[in-house]
Structure 1
């Protein structure tokens, strides 16, 4: 509104837009860095890690960055803790990773996590039962 010529208005708009483009590029670079450095912690569940990962991915996609599912699958393969190593190895042996869908990978990992949690609970119950039996015998 304060510009007196069309050229002056154009220059202001150009400066404003290019500044936004520069900021957008920096935000994308920061999100890429977040994506690259993100790794699952030992205490995290698959769902927690997947939610964190997809939060970063969705922000990148909103900014116009193309992030294919195959890149996310690869990221999961290299950033999961050692407790998933056997599952990842069996998936690598049985399927072509480039053909593996993100949803199938997540479902497979969650199933393993649930089986492990059930086994741990059964083990805890067995130990607790053995402890109770031992203490009752001593009485």
Structure 2
């Protein structure tokens, strides 16, 4: 419920002009007195049930009175000329909708107006006597306004060194093109540097693998055995190693596989 100590000033009387302003002020005014729901919904209060209390009777009467209060607010907020257009309305919602339809139009009429405006815009054509001449400064201004964010530094630099109101379009384009060339060059150098770094890393890894020292067994396999003067086996496994002990004859200087005693016994 609205506070009894708050009395907002009524909206200016609507005389047919500035409806979009009047309707906002009028809606706020009705909300301040808890009357907007009556205008917006237009719902009749439910009838009293049997044996109502005094409080229920009083509340029901207040709800019915709200319709008359809202109607009075609307009627007193319009001029006599506008009042004649809602004089036949029986509820505040009917009066509100009547004013909205006449001065703002229904949703259907607004859509139709929008379509008409769009059609008129699309059919716009330059007449023979019209010209489309633009001065150099206007063209430069338009170009600068459409540039992406990465050109802000260059534009700021130009503003510090030149008067953009007298700069030629070709000069602006050349300055922007030079910046793009430098940017592309830096990007290419960066890519080449990254590629070279990857190549060097791969080469170092390959060289390190190639130069990795061989283990002892691999080195010995490439050496000449001092016992038999042959290659391909380590000296300690040579058949003719003088320190080797034959498992057949139990003598030193050879292994069982080349033992002569074993060959004779066969």
CA RMSD, Structure 1 to Structure 2 (Å): 2.1
2:153 maps to what in 1?
86
Change (3 A) 1:138 1:75: same
Deviations 1:13-69 (A, max 9, x none): xxxxxxxxx99x8145xxxxxxxxxxxxxxxxxxxxxxxxxxxxxxxxxx7311222
TM-score normalised to structure 1 length: 0.55
Paired positions, count: 83
1:131 maps to what in 2?
198
Give yes or no for the alignment of 1:103 onto 2:170.
yes
Q: CA deviation at 1:85?
A: 0.9
Provide structure 1 residue ranges, at least 5 long, that are not aligned to the other structure: 1-21, 29-62
Aligned mates of 1:96, 1:78 — CA distance in 2: 16
- Larger Rg belongs to: 2
4+ aligned runs moved over 2 Å, structure 1: none
Aligned mates of 2:169, 2:149 — CA distance in 1: 20
Aligned mates of 2:125, 2:202 — CA distance in 1: 61
Aligned mates of 2:182, 2:131 — CA distance in 1: 39
Task: Report 1:113-132 matches (<5 A).
Answer: 113-132=180-199
Aligned mates of 2:162, 2:125 — CA distance in 1: 35
2:47 maps to what in 1?
none
Aligned mates of 1:66, 1:76 — CA distance in 2: 16
Aligned mates of 2:159, 2:143 — CA distance in 1: 12
More helix by share: 1
Provide structure 2 residue ranges, at least 5 long, that are not aligned to the other structure: 1-119, 207-266
Aligned mates of 2:180, 2:132 — CA distance in 1: 31
Report the 3-state secondary structure (helix = DSSP H, G, I; strand = E; otherwise coil) of the residue aligned with 1:97: coil
Alignment equivalent of 1:26, drawn from 113, 119, 124: 124
Aligned mates of 1:69, 1:117 — CA distance in 2: 29
Report the 3-state secondary structure (helix = DSSP H, G, I; strand = E; otherwise coil) of the residue aligned with 2:124: helix
Give yes or no for the alignment of 1:69 onto 2:136.
yes
Q: Tell me: higher relative CO, structure 1 or 2? Use CA pairs within 8 A at least 6 residues apart.
A: 1
